[in-house]
Amino acid sequence: GPLYMGPKQEKQLWEGLIEYLSANDNLPVVAFTLSRNRCDNNAELLSGVDLTTKEEKHHIHMFFKKSISKLKPVDQELPQILKMQKILTNGIGVHHSGILPILKEIVELLFQESKVKLLFATETFAMGVNMPARTVVFDSVKKFDGNNTRALLPSEYIQMAGRAGRRGKDVIGKVIILCKSEVPGEHILQSMMFDKPMKLESQFRMTYAMILKNLQHNMEADVTVENMITRSFKEFPEQAKHSKYRKELSMLKKLLEEEEMKRGGTKRPGEDKLEQFFDLAADYIEKYNRYQAKAMIQAKAVKEMVIGRMVLISYKDHINKYGIVVGKAKPESEKAVYRVLVLVNQNHPEKPVHKDLYYQMMCVMRPKQRFMWDGLGGHTILHLQPVYIANLTPEIIKVDAEGIIRDWEKRQIPRFKDDPVGPACRSAIEQLAYYSETRIYGQWLDTKEGKIVDLVDLKNSLYASKCCVELCKPTEVLNCDELFLDVFRRKDIEWQIKQIKHQLSAQSSSLFPDFQNKLMFLQELKYINADNVVEMKGNVATRMGSNELMITELVFRNILRDMQPAEIAALLSGLVFQAKTNKEPPEKLLCEGKKEIENVNEELIKVERECEIGTQDTTSEFDRLNFGLLEVVYEWALNKPFAEIMELTDVQEGLIVRCIQQLSETLNYVKGAAAQLGDRMLEQKMDEVKELIKRDIVFAASLYTQ
Say whether pLDDT at 565 is over 80.
yes
Q: How confident is the model at residue 454 (pLDDT cuts 50, 70, 90)?
A: low
| Average pLDDT over all residues of the chain | 87
Q: Which of 373, 401, 380 is closest to 309 using CA atoms?
A: 401
Whether 109 maps to a domain, the answer reads: yes
Domain end marker among 171, 194, 217: 194
Q: Specify whether 554 is located in the same domain as 439.
A: no
Say whether pLDDT at 107 is over 70.
yes
Q: What is the mean pLDDT of residues 116-136?
A: 83
Please check whether residue 133 is in contact with residue 30, taking contact to mean a CB–CB distance below 8 angstroms: yes
Bridge partners (DSSP) of residue 380 are 342
pLDDT on residue 693: 96
Q: Specify whether 325 is located in the same domain as 433.
A: yes
Q: Which residue has the higher pLDDT, 467 or 552?
A: 552
Whether 288 maps to a domain, the answer reads: yes
Whether 535 maps to a domain, the answer reads: no
Whether 494 maps to a domain, the answer reads: no
Q: What is the mean pLDDT of residues 364-382?
A: 87
Lowest mean pLDDT among 37-41, 236-240, 417-421, 614-618: 614-618
Say whether pLDDT at 684 is over 90.
yes
Lowest mean pLDDT among 33-42, 203-212, 349-358, 450-459: 450-459
Q: For residue 349, is it left (φ>0), alpha (ψ between -120 and 50) or beta?
A: beta
pLDDT on residue 59: 96
How do residues 171-183 score in pLDDT, each as one tens digit? 888 999 988 877 8
Q: For residue 79, is it left (φ>0), alpha (ψ between -120 and 50) or beta?
A: alpha
Q: Specify whether 290 is located in the same domain as 178.
A: no
Domain end marker among 477, 508, 529: 477
Q: Which residue has the higher pLDDT, 49 or 257?
A: 49
Whether 55 maps to a domain, the answer reads: yes
| Domain span at 88 | 7-194
Q: How far apart are CA 573 and CA 649, in angstroms?
A: 14
Q: How far apart are CA 586 and CA 630, in angstroms?
A: 9
Give one DSSP letter per residue of 48-78, joined into a string: T-----HHHHHHHHHHHHHHHTTS-HHHHT-
Domain end marker among 166, 194, 222: 194
Query: b vs e for 159-197, b when ≥16 Cβ sit within 10 Å of the residue's Cβ?
Result: bbbebbbeeeeeeebbbbbbeeeeebeeeeeeebeeeee
Please check whether residue 108 is in contact with residue 135, taking contact to mean a CB–CB distance below 8 angstroms: no
Q: Specify whether 297 is located in the same domain as 427.
A: yes
Give one DSSP letter per residue of 251-279, joined into a string: HHHHHHHHHHHHHTT-PPTTHHHHHHHHH
- Sign of the CA dihedral running 614, 616, 619, 623: positive
Q: For residue 92, is it left (φ>0), alpha (ψ between -120 and 50) or beta?
A: beta
pLDDT on residue 222: 58
Q: What is the mean pLDDT of residues 226-243?
A: 69
Q: For the purposes of burial, counting CB atoms within 10 Å of the CB of 338, is it exposed (0-12), middle (13-18) or buried (19 or more)?
A: buried
Bridge partners (DSSP) of residue 135 are 29, 174
pLDDT on residue 309: 93
Q: Which of 627, 629, 636, 632 is closest to 574 using CA atoms?
A: 627
Residues 6+ apart with CB under 8 A from 430: none
- We report the CATH number of the domain holding residue 156 as 3.40.50.300
Q: For the purposes of burial, counting CB atoms within 10 Å of the CB of 238, is it exposed (0-12), middle (13-18) or buried (19 or more)?
A: middle
Q: Specify whether 442 is located in the same domain as 548.
A: no
How do residues 475-493 score in pLDDT, each as one tens digit? 888 888 888 888 888 888 8
Q: How far apart are CA 128 and CA 133, in angstroms?
A: 12
Say whether pLDDT at 356 is over 80.
yes
What percent of the chain is modeled with pLDDT above 70?
A: 92
pLDDT on residue 436: 85
Q: How far apart are CA 669 and CA 461, in angstroms?
A: 46
How do residues 265-283 score in pLDDT, each as one tens digit? 677 888 889 989 999 999 9
Please check whether residue 319 is in contact with residue 371, taking contact to mean a CB–CB distance below 8 angstroms: yes
Q: How confident is the model at residue 449 (pLDDT cuts 50, 70, 90)?
A: low
Q: How far apart are CA 49 and CA 54, in angstroms?
A: 14
Q: Which of 507, 549, 558, 498 is closest to 528 using CA atoms?
A: 549
Q: Which residue has the higher pLDDT, 240 or 115?
A: 115
Say whether pLDDT at 112 is over 50.
yes
Q: How confident is the model at residue 642 (pLDDT cuts 50, 70, 90)?
A: very high
Q: Specify whether 572 is located in the same domain as 467.
A: no
Q: Which residue has the higher pLDDT, 507 or 99?
A: 99
Q: How far apart are CA 359 and CA 356, in angstroms?
A: 5
How do residues 589-599 score in pLDDT, each as one tens digit? 899 999 999 99
CA distances from 202 to 101, 679, 692 (A): 30, 41, 40
Q: How far apart are CA 472 and CA 481, in angstroms?
A: 15
Is pTM, for the whole model, over 0.85?
no
Q: Specify whether 288 is located in the same domain as 430.
A: yes
Q: What is the mean pLDDT of residues 156-183?
A: 84
Q: How confident is the model at residue 322 (pLDDT cuts 50, 70, 90)?
A: very high
Query: Which contiguous run of DSSP H or E holds residue 327?
Result: strand 318-329
Q: How confident is the model at residue 155 (pLDDT cuts 50, 70, 90)?
A: confident
pLDDT on residue 623: 75
pLDDT on residue 494: 87
Say whether pLDDT at 98 is over 50.
yes
CA distances from 345 to 154, 371, 411, 433, 441 (A): 58, 10, 17, 12, 20
Say whether pLDDT at 119 is over 90.
yes
Q: For the purposes of burial, counting CB atoms within 10 Å of the CB of 340, is it exposed (0-12), middle (13-18) or buried (19 or more)?
A: buried
pLDDT on residue 560: 93
Q: How far apart are CA 162 and CA 521, in angstroms?
A: 46
Q: What is the mean pLDDT of residues 15-42?
A: 91
Q: Specify whether 161 is located in the same domain as 50.
A: yes
pLDDT on residue 271: 85
Q: Specify whether 450 is located in the same domain as 547.
A: no
Query: Which contiguous run of DSSP H or E holds residue 95?
Result: strand 92-95
Q: How confident is the model at residue 333 (pLDDT cuts 50, 70, 90)?
A: low
Q: How confident is the model at residue 292 (pLDDT cuts 50, 70, 90)?
A: confident
Q: Specify whether 294 is located in the same domain as 182.
A: no
- Sign of the CA dihedral running 646, 649, 650, 652: negative
Q: Specify whether 553 is located in the same domain as 686.
A: yes
Say whether pLDDT at 351 is over 90.
no
Say whether pLDDT at 353 is over 50.
yes
Whether 306 maps to a domain, the answer reads: yes
- We report the CATH number of the domain holding residue 324 as 2.40.30.300
What is the number of structural domains in the chain? 3
Whether 177 maps to a domain, the answer reads: yes
- We report the CATH number of the domain holding residue 591 as 1.10.3380.30
pLDDT on residue 1: 47
CA distances from 571 to 70, 345, 516, 551, 561 (A): 30, 77, 32, 12, 13
pLDDT on residue 130: 66
Please check whether residue 229 is in contact with residue 509, taking contact to mean a CB–CB distance below 8 angstroms: yes
Q: Specify whether 548 is located in the same domain as 466.
A: no
Contacts by 486-493, CB closer than 8 A, 24 or more apart: 487/271, 487/274, 487/275, 487/278, 488/278, 488/354, 488/357, 488/358, 488/361, 489/259, 490/256, 490/259, 490/260, 490/263, 491/275, 491/278, 491/279, 492/355, 492/357, 492/358, 493/252, 493/255, 493/256, 493/259
Bridge partners (DSSP) of residue 638 are none
Say whether pLDDT at 376 is over 80.
yes
Q: Which of 661, 643, 666 is closest to 702 using CA atoms?
A: 661
Q: Which residue has the higher pLDDT, 101 or 418?
A: 101
Q: Phi and psi at residue 141, in whole multiples of 5°? A: -105, 15
pLDDT on residue 636: 96
Please check whether residue 566 is in contact with residue 638, taking contact to mean a CB–CB distance below 8 angstroms: yes
Whether 496 maps to a domain, the answer reads: no
Q: What is the mean pLDDT of residues 393-408?
A: 92
Bridge partners (DSSP) of residue 138 are 32, 177
Q: How far apart are CA 395 and CA 372, in angstroms?
A: 20
